[in-house]
A and B are shown apart, each in its own frame.
Chain A
């Protein structure tokens, strides 16, 4: 037995790195695709909803990772895009029900193919505006200004009584998608999984592209990038907008998932959670944020079921996890698998 394990261990690193990681990803996708069946098999149908939530948050975390992990720009306002995406779905739904005009236009929809792209565009638009201002700063200033912008949006929706203010908006029915029953928990799970896979695939292309190489350079030395003749600001801005759009996408899905939006989605602690997912999973790695989201939400769920003081326990666990897994959980996975990513 030990012998067999040894040979496996010795052979594995000899395989080219991309073959191994493609295999890992294929295994992961298959596992995720059959997860609803497994959940039912083990009599845990509630797991499907939990997994859906994790998948949606993993989309938001991966988007933050593009700027925070790859480009080294720690945005503390990622919840702004997530919440905006959610509110776009909520507001469009409300108008589709009441038939009231929005900005004088007969806008309103409960069609996912309309609401989700709208959420992505609106989040991207605001990310472009706020990003163009905040990216003129760097370091701690950048962290603070992104936080300040997100807080502005948070207080705006708290004050916006027309759309529920503090109480938020209830979405009675999940948005419709032609040919699919979004109200079926398993179908909804697969829809979210499909969207997440597409989003991760897109991000994997982006980070490996010329554009992605510039971002990684920005993280390591702005001064060197200038000496190469690169004006980094436009690249950072585009990355910021892509991240915002990903946040909006996740928010739109989450609003549908919960059938509810509220300023909670915009709260600074939500931004902090996204940052935690990125760091915990391994900043600047493709799958890190997904692991981070799974572990963070998993731990929260387990601990919350066990004690109401779960946050007191979660905090130290996170600190230890970050201290002792260099490069986050993906670093740990790499270590266990006996390969090196770089």
Chain B
């Protein structure tokens, strides 16, 4: 048994009549890729939003590396070592790819009450930013303004930014969505290189990616985890087949 890095117990969140998160219990072990799958509207993004502290759950607890996260804001959680990517990408669109990554590194290096030195020419920011962009396959695109980049490049950039804060846990909200076949392959390869080093909660509809990457899979339906297990266990689970895999595009 490996250590549990993220422990979620009995999480609940209602939006009016909708139970977006319904007594959700799940854990992510250090170094594992734990895929979270489920139909549209199952509550996957809402779950990540609560893990990041952007939304406050109605009930339940989240512990990260043994520490309760209750009351911590997003920035504090990021500093503890949690990073995310967004289903709808959130980047600084007027900046270059490199500036986006460099700013994330800057944030990771400590406070930014530094008023004098030019940040755009700071090698302690630019060199690691270049390395991360090269790893993400964006070496040639680093000086392009983000708003001029393709959808797939935005996804790659978000991954590079998430890694720039050297997280222990990555929350990826549909990193393959909208990617072409070769872009998906690249993304899967990039994530494979992280396997074992960084724990990943992978929200994804692309089942090829899920089967290629996941150590364990949890299935979320109407805010509830109806099954957790290895790929084989999940594929064999009658409840899952009925609720999700059977009727869907798996």
Residues of A within 8 A of B (CB): 205-206, 208-214, 216-217, 220-221, 223-231, 234-235, 238, 342
From DSSP, what is the main secondary structure of chain B's interface residues? loop
- Interface residues in B138-164 by Cβ distance below 8 A to A read 145, 161
CA distance A208 to B112 in the complex (A): 12
Look across to chain A and name the residue whose beta carbon is closest to the beta carbon of B52: A227
Look across to chain B and name the residue whose beta carbon is closest to the beta carbon of A206: B115
Asked if A230 and B75 make an inter-chain contact with CB atoms under 8 angstroms apart, the answer reads: yes
Contact partners of A210 in chain B: CB under 8 A: 106, 112, 114-115, 117, 119, 122
Contact partners of B113 in chain A: CB under 8 A: 211, 234-235, 238
Q: Show 22 residue pairs from A and B whose CB-CB distance is below 8 angstroms, ordered by the A residue.
A: A205-B115, A205-B118, A209-B114, A209-B115, A210-B106, A210-B117, A210-B119, A211-B112, A213-B112, A213-B119, A220-B93, A221-B90, A221-B91, A223-B90, A227-B74, A227-B86, A227-B90, A228-B78, A230-B75, A230-B107, A231-B75, A342-B94
CA distance A223 to B75 in the complex (A): 10
Asked if B54 and A209 make an inter-chain contact with CB atoms under 8 angstroms apart, the answer reads: no
Contact partners of B15 in chain A: CB under 8 A: none
Tally of contact residues, B, Cβ under 8 A: 36
Contact partners of B112 in chain A: CB under 8 A: 210-211, 213-214, 230, 235
Look across to chain B and name the residue whose beta carbon is closest to the beta carbon of A284: B94
CA distance A208 to B91 in the complex (A): 19
Question: Closest CB-CB distance, A80 to chain B, in whole Å?
Answer: 24
Contact partners of B106 in chain A: CB under 8 A: 210, 213-214
CA distance A86 to B83 in the complex (A): 48
B130 at the interface (CB under 8 A from A): no
CA distance A209 to B120 in the complex (A): 8
Q: A221-B91, A221-B92, A228-B104 are in contact. Are A211 and B115 (CB under 8 A)?
A: yes
CA distance A211 to B76 in the complex (A): 19
From DSSP, what is the main secondary structure of chain A's interface residues? helix
B73 at the interface (CB under 8 A from A): yes
Asked if B161 and A209 make an inter-chain contact with CB atoms under 8 angstroms apart, the answer reads: no
B21 at the interface (CB under 8 A from A): no
B79 at the interface (CB under 8 A from A): yes
Asked if B116 and A209 make an inter-chain contact with CB atoms under 8 angstroms apart, the answer reads: yes
Residues of B within 8 A of A (CB): 52, 54, 73-76, 78-79, 83-84, 86, 90-95, 99, 103-104, 106-108, 112-120, 122, 145, 161, 165
Asked if A227 and B95 make an inter-chain contact with CB atoms under 8 angstroms apart, the answer reads: no
Contact partners of A231 in chain B: CB under 8 A: 73, 75-76
Contact partners of A223 in chain B: CB under 8 A: 54, 90
Question: Closest CB-CB distance, B154 to chain A, in whole Å?
Answer: 12
Question: Closest CB-CB distance, B160 to chain A, in whole Å?
Answer: 12
Question: Closest CB-CB distance, B75 to chain A, in whole Å?
Answer: 4
CA distance A156 to B91 in the complex (A): 44
The 10 lowest CB-CB distance pairs between A and B, nearest first, are A229-B78, A226-B74, A228-B107, A210-B112, A220-B92, A210-B114, A231-B75, A224-B90, A210-B119, A208-B118
CA distance A212 to B114 in the complex (A): 9
Question: Closest CB-CB distance, A124 to chain B, in whole Å?
Answer: 15
Asked if B103 and A217 make an inter-chain contact with CB atoms under 8 angstroms apart, the answer reads: yes
Asked if B119 and A217 make an inter-chain contact with CB atoms under 8 angstroms apart, the answer reads: no
Contact partners of A214 in chain B: CB under 8 A: 103, 106, 112
Asked if B92 and A342 make an inter-chain contact with CB atoms under 8 angstroms apart, the answer reads: no
CA distance A230 to B116 in the complex (A): 19
Q: A217-B92, A217-B103, A221-B90 are in contact. Are A227 and B84 (CB under 8 A)?
A: yes
Q: Using A209-B114, A212-B115, A213-B112 as known contacts, list a sample of 18 further A-B pairs with CB atoms less than 8 Å apart, ordered by residue number in A.
A: A208-B120, A210-B117, A210-B122, A213-B106, A213-B119, A216-B92, A216-B95, A220-B94, A221-B91, A223-B54, A227-B52, A229-B78, A229-B79, A229-B108, A229-B165, A230-B107, A235-B113, A342-B94
Contact partners of A224 in chain B: CB under 8 A: 90-92
- Highest count of chain B CB atoms <10 Å: which of A206, A225, A230: A230
Look across to chain A and name the residue whose beta carbon is closest to the beta carbon of B94: A220
Question: Closest CB-CB distance, A71 to chain B, in whole Å?
Answer: 13
Contact partners of A227 in chain B: CB under 8 A: 52, 74, 78, 83-84, 86, 90, 161
CA distance A210 to B112 in the complex (A): 5
Question: Closest CB-CB distance, A291 to chain B, in whole Å?
Answer: 21
Question: Closest CB-CB distance, A215 to chain B, in whole Å?
Answer: 9
- Highest count of chain B CB atoms <10 Å: which of A205, A212, A213, A231: A213
Look across to chain A and name the residue whose beta carbon is closest to the beta carbon of B89: A224
CA distance A235 to B114 in the complex (A): 11
